[in-house]
Amino acid sequence: MPTISSIKALKVLNSRGDWTIKTTLELSDGSTGWAIVPEGASKGELEAICLPADQSVDLLQGKLSKALVGKSFVTVSELDKFLIDIDGTENKHVLGGNTILALSVAFTRAHARSQKLDDWEYLANLAKSIGISVDRKSAITPLFNILNGGKHAQNDLSFQEFMLIPARNYTMEECVEVGVKVYKSLRNRLQRDGFSTGVGDEGGFAPLNFTVKKALTYITECASEHYKVGEDVFLGMDVAAGSFYRDGYYVLPEEHLKLTSEQFERYLLDLMRQFKLIYLEDPFHEQDVNWWRKAVDDFGSRVMLSADDLVVTNPQILTGAIKQKLANTVIVKPNQIGTVSETLDFVNLARRAGWNVVGSHRSGDTEDPFIADLAFALGADFVKFGAPSRGERTSKFNRLLELYSS
């Protein structure tokens, strides 16, 4: 069993121009792995803590190198447990979820190389070992975030992501072609109508003076130039409701609205009736659990109600959400929990509950395509990588295209 022979770390930039960390881990047999950790702008209250890049680099090259070099681990799960024990806190604030994840992913890749496996193959074997059943007969479907708002854009929109969703019968290449066609049509339409085509953090357009209905109307009309909306393509939104929840009200300044939870549910239902919406992410504040439950009862059979901030890729929190029937879909972001193994445990729970799984990037992402390998290995139903543009987004689409072509 090879031991860890070296750990190197340095500061690098993410897509927002903020510092993050890149880690390279080498095993005694010469196998190496690397990782660059993303960071979100819209964060759940219970996510693992992200330490400043300088502090993480110091830990990786100091305390953690001393603790790890010369040691061997049978699987990444063993390494993760070792690091969790060193940290000793529930939210990983001593070592930082970002620091631990950098080691977890880098070790995963190094161990895969040592076993002559691709990253996804190593991850698939881990998934199988804990009972995750994977069916790759149908391709993963991307949720293309082609119009940005909320914390991901400097515009008026309170809702964070407006998504185009190809039908489930498309291949990966066909899905990407759908996303690209409608994305370009939307750019041309915005230009023609005199709106800016500047983009938000995730590559979607971020026009000024838009309302939610106007955003959905533009996407619907642009999609209709190429496809039948409601049959070939559908719409979805990351509401990110926690970002505009104020003192018990959902406040939408661009629409001059201040809504109670009951009124906000009616508002969402009205949007569902007007547009072909099949996906709603974080439709209520993470603490507004009674309305999460009611939404599942009222329209969970027609729409994917996706939990991000509500469960933050945390197996313990997800267990409670499943028992209370608060959603039917989960977002998977490894940096929310801080280890590969806990991410797999999270997906295992979601699968056993019959929930949909969405592998997701972060708004401050990097060229590292690890989330694409993870989604492929786990047979995720959907992925969110942003718009089909910008290198930190296209690296992930391109990795999935590569995996499906091999």
Domains 4-116 and 141-405 fall in the same CATH topology: no
Q: What pLDDT does 45 receive? A: 77
Report the binding-site residues for (2R)-2-phosphoglycerate.
Answer: 160, 333, 362-363, 384
Report the binding-site residues for substrate.
Answer: 152, 161, 281, 308, 360-363, 384
Topology (CATH level 3) of domain 4-116: Enolase-like; domain 1 (3.30.390)
Catalytic residue list contains 39: no
Tens of pLDDT, residues 151-163: 878 899 999 999 9
Q: What pLDDT does 44 receive? A: 67
Tens of pLDDT, residues 104-119: 999 999 999 999 999 9
Task: For residue 185, give the H/E element and its range.
Answer: helix 172-192
Report the binding-site residues for Mg(2+).
Answer: 238, 281, 308
Point out the residues of the chain with pLDDT beneath 50.
none
Where do the H-state alpha helices sit in 300-369? 315-324, 334-337, 340-352
Parse the chain into domains and list their residue ranges. 4-116, 141-405
Q: Out of 26, 39, 202, 342, pick the active-site residue.
A: 202
Q: What pLDDT does 42 receive? A: 60
Please answer whether residues 366 and 316 qualify as being in contact, where contact means their C-beta atoms are separated by less than 8 angstroms: no
Q: What pLDDT does 135 receive? A: 76
Q: What pLDDT does 43 receive? A: 67
| Global pTM value | 0.96
Q: For the structural domain made of 141-405, what CATH number should be given?
A: 3.20.20.120
| Spacing of C-alpha 318 from chain mean position | 16
Q: What pLDDT does 363 receive? A: 85
Report the binding-site residues.
Answer: 152, 160-161, 238, 281, 308, 333, 360-363, 384
Q: What pLDDT does 18 receive? A: 96
Q: Out of 22, 92, 333, 396, pick the active-site residue.
A: 333
Residues in the chain: 406
Question: Mean pLDDT, the chain, as a whole number?
Answer: 96
CA distances from 113 to 66, 88, 120, 273 (A): 23, 30, 11, 50
Catalytic residue list contains 202: yes
